[in-house]
Amino acid sequence: MARTAASAAAETTVPILDLRRLHGSGEERAAFLAGLRAAIRRFGAFYLSGHGVDPDLVAQGFALSRRFFALPDAEKLAIEMVHSPHFRGYTRPGWERTRGLADWREQVDIGSERPALPGGPDAPAWQRLEGPNQWPAALPELRPGILALQAALTEVTLRLLRAVSLAVGQREDALDPIVAERPTQLVKLIRYPGHDAVPEDSSQGVGPHKDSGLLTLVLQHERGGLQIETPAGWLDVPPRPGTVVVNAGELLELATDGYFRAAVHRVVTPPAGVERLSIAFFLGARLDARVPVLPLPPDLKAEARGPERDPLNPLFHDVGANALKGRLRSHPDVASRHHADLLAATA
């Protein structure tokens, strides 16, 4: 039977799910959970509407982001990530790496606002990831504005994570123990310069990768460039007003024994003369946690393929080890300045 135009379009369009349906009638709730399971299973990603994040808070986040990136280089470099052993702060274009290749974007990483943990020769290496953020003296408004946005995005993502647990036949609190009290939170304010500002032989805004956490929310501002890898090739995920893009991460892949696969995605450089802004929020588990393998119902378990085996990107159930692995690899300047002992131990 020939496919209808609607079914063909569904295979080449990332679906939109309305979070309000989770709290609707029993039929609406069941349909939302079925759609959630299908979207992550098929694409590893989906658009989320009805999320309840104040649009004024989002607009303020982009306005602050634009003001930060417009600061003089000296002001931005004053909080360059290389000054932080906790991988917080500003990264100039071309200084982050994905699979060894330069990503042509500038960004500032803002994590959970917590004090550094006490170190020592017997302390686990992941403890180095926790610590204070760096904030630009020239833009004091950034701190309260972005931390307010981080709190709002955390609340939505935790609600969504509970829905994901229900979608695979678990109690809604199945993953609560690994996020309770101290989940890993990271906001990235990102600016992609136009193609005229990057090397001619590169179009890599950020290269193909999986996110290391549980779920990622991507807020896009007017211009596209995000793409999701599918069996048929790269699929554009353009901005849609009122929605955020949700990507499944590596920890969700581990928790479901590969029933869900983390979304492989990339961002292509915008055309010459224009720029692209986005805000990404990453929710991960507590750094001291170990990701459980959920006891999936028999019909889902039969479809679980196990986590992807990639020798260039091994996945660890120990959350801290998984997070630290990615940061050391992506930011070699920070790694060599602050964590040379860890590099030597893995050489």
- DSSP 8-state symbol, 183: -
- Letter for the amino acid at 284? G
pTM: 0.94
Q: Look at residues 278, 321, 299 and name the one whose alpha carbon lies nearest to residue 124.
A: 321
Rounded mean pLDDT of 308-324? 87
pLDDT band at 347 (very low <50, low <70, confident <90, very high): low
At residue 15, the pLDDT reads 97
Q: For 64-102, how does the pLDDT look when each residue is reduced to its tens digit (9 = 90+)?
A: 999 999 999 999 999 999 999 999 999 999 989 888 888
Q: Cα separation of 319 and 300, whole Å?
A: 24
Instruction: Please work out, in degrees rounded to the nearest 5, the angle formed at the alpha carbon of residue 250 by the alpha carbons of 247 and 255.
Output: 110
Q: For 229-246, how does the pLDDT look when each residue is reduced to its tens digit (9 = 90+)?
A: 999 999 999 999 999 999
Query: Residue holding tokens 């101290």?
Result: 182
Tokens in use for 332?
């070699």
| Coil/strand/helix, residue 93 | coil
- Give the length of the chain: 347
Q: For 187-230, how does the pLDDT look when each residue is reduced to its tens digit (9 = 90+)?
A: 999 999 988 778 877 888 999 999 999 999 999 998 999 999 99
| Burial class of residue 148, CB neighbours in 10 A (0-12, 13-18, 19+) | middle
Q: Cα separation of 152 and 54, whole Å?
A: 8
At residue 227, the pLDDT reads 96
Domains contained in the chain, CATH given: 10-346 (2.60.120.330)
Rounded mean pLDDT of 313-321? 89
Q: Is the pLDDT of residue 2 over 50?
A: no
Q: For 4-51, how does the pLDDT look when each residue is reduced to its tens digit (9 = 90+)?
A: 444 434 467 899 999 999 999 999 999 999 999 999 999 999 999 999
Q: Cα separation of 161 and 166, whole Å?
A: 9
What count of other Cβ atoms lies within 10 Å of the Cβ of residue 318? 15
115-124, Cβ contacts within 8 angstroms, sequence gap of 24 or more: 116/86, 124/288, 124/320
